[in-house]
Amino acid sequence: MVRSIPLSMNWPPRMKPNASPKQDLKKTKDSAKTMLKKIQNKLYSYSESPYLDSLVLLGHISGKSKSELIAHPTPELSDAQDQSLSIAIKQLQDGIPLPYVLGEWDFFSLRFKLTPDVLIPRPETEGLVELVLDWLQANPGKRSCLEIGTGSGCIAISLANSIPDLQLIATDISSPALQVAKYNARRHEVLDRIQFLERDLFTGIYMPIDLLVANLPYIPTDKLRSLAVYQSEPALALDGGQDGLHYIKEVLKEAEQHLNPGGAIFLELDEDCGASALALAKEVWPGITIRLAQDLSGQDRYLSIQING
């Protein structure tokens, strides 16, 4: 059974004034090193990277950078900060991912608000943004973009932040996700260049575009159910059907009528679906330049399609 997490723009949950954490981590003025060790020990059985999570969490609570924490003799937490830290540790022990506990996460050198309504941005998707930016820089006359399944808005906002004359439409089937995306676009001052729409794939999209980019749900259903992410992130944004290609098939079949000549498609893939996605794309788009690219770990991760001009 999937654990229910409150879905709200008021994430992370506010600490109650009379909250009484089981253990006060600041009974003495510990050095940052000692406090990090204490937090790390508490997270050891709950995290794949307890030291890094401890460093990020303590930095978030104390308002200090990683280098400051390592160099500074004491974190000097206030009572309220200490209480927040204890509550955050309990949330992590309950299985809530660190980005949801913090309520924000960094992506492509920008900070994004997160709630459990949206996926946690990952480094693999930064690779997708880099591929798209390379294409945009090589095609300065192509400046209209559609992103399907925007989630937190991290892809569209990163593109808009990097290319000042880029105009974007960003869609999602989830209204709560779109609220998060709009907040993030406003935060990074690009809301005037991104039109956010509650849509399913291409529904209601009539304007021809130069570029289509999407990080669609792509994890095969059976594989997804065996992953820890299934318990903590929205399945709607993860489940790609039995073969992981359900939504990718739909997009590839419909994309032609929406793309301008000389346009392009960039999609993120499950690492086990590269060959089948490439074969599918060649079947749908015969005679078109189609490439499969790898992420930093060497896994098949990105599909790009260059439309004839």
Kindly report, residue by residue over 90-113, the tens digit of the pLDDT.
999 999 999 999 999 999 999 999
Domain end, chosen from 102, 122, 138, is at: 102
pTM: 0.87
Owner of token pair 């004034």:
17
| CATH number of the domain enclosing 78 | 1.10.8.10
Is 61 a domain residue? Answer: yes
pLDDT, tens digit, for every residue of 219-231? Answer: 888 887 888 787 7
- Residue 14 domain-assigned (yes or no): no
Own/partner pairs, 218-226, CB within 8 angstroms, 24+ separation: 218/244, 218/245, 218/247, 218/248, 218/268, 218/269, 218/270, 218/273, 219/244, 219/270, 220/244, 220/270, 220/272, 220/273, 223/270, 223/272
| 247 within 8 A of 220, measured Cβ to Cβ | no
- Asked whether residue 20 is domain-assigned, the answer is no
Q: Count how many domains the chain has.
A: 2
Q: Which of 68, 102, 136 is the last residue of a domain?
A: 102
Question: 16 or 91: which carries more pLDDT confidence?
Answer: 91
- Which ranges in the chain belong to alpha helices (H)? 32-43, 50-62, 66-71, 79-93, 98-102, 123-138, 154-162, 175-187, 221-225, 246-255, 274-284
CA dist 66 and 68 (Å) reads 5
Tell me the backbone φ, ψ of residue 26, rounded to 5 degrees: -115, 45
- Which residues 6+ apart lie within 8 Å of 144 measured at CB? 166, 167, 168, 207, 208, 209, 210, 211, 260
Q: pLDDT-based confidence at 22, cuts 50/70/90? A: very low
From the list 200, 205, 304, 204, the residue with the least C-alpha distance to 252 is 304
Evaluate whether residue 160 is within a structural domain: yes
Helix-strand-coil percent breakdown of the chain, rounded to 5? 40, 20, 40
Range of the domain at 65: 32-102
- Identify the pLDDT of residue 218: 77
Residue 238 has pLDDT above 90, yes or no: no
CATH at residue 282 = 3.40.50.150
Q: What is the pLDDT of residues 133-174, one digit of tens each?
A: 999 999 999 999 999 999 999 999 999 999 999 999 999 999
Residues 6+ apart with CB under 8 A from 23: 86
Distances (CA, A) of 300 to 72, 124, 270: 42, 11, 8
Q: Are residues 228 and 260 in the same domain?
A: yes
Q: Do 127 and 174 reside in the same domain of the chain? A: yes
Residue after which a domain boundary falls, among 53, 70, 102: 102
Task: Please give the share of the chain, as a percent, with pLDDT higher than 90.
Answer: 73
State the greatest distance between any 2 C-alpha atoms of the chain, in Å, as a whole number: 69
Nearest to 300 by CA among 275, 265, 263, 264: 275
pLDDT in tens, 45-83: 999 999 999 999 999 999 988 888 877 766 778 999 999
Residue 26 forms part of a structural domain: no
- Helix count and strand count (H, E) for the chain: 11, 9
Residues 87 and 169 in one domain: no
pLDDT tens by residue, 180-224? 999 999 999 999 999 999 999 999 999 999 999 999 987 888 887
132 and 233: one domain? yes
Give the residue from 163, 275, 165, 149 showing the smallest Cα distance to 212: 149
Examine residue 12 and state whether it is found in any structural domain, yes or no.
Answer: no
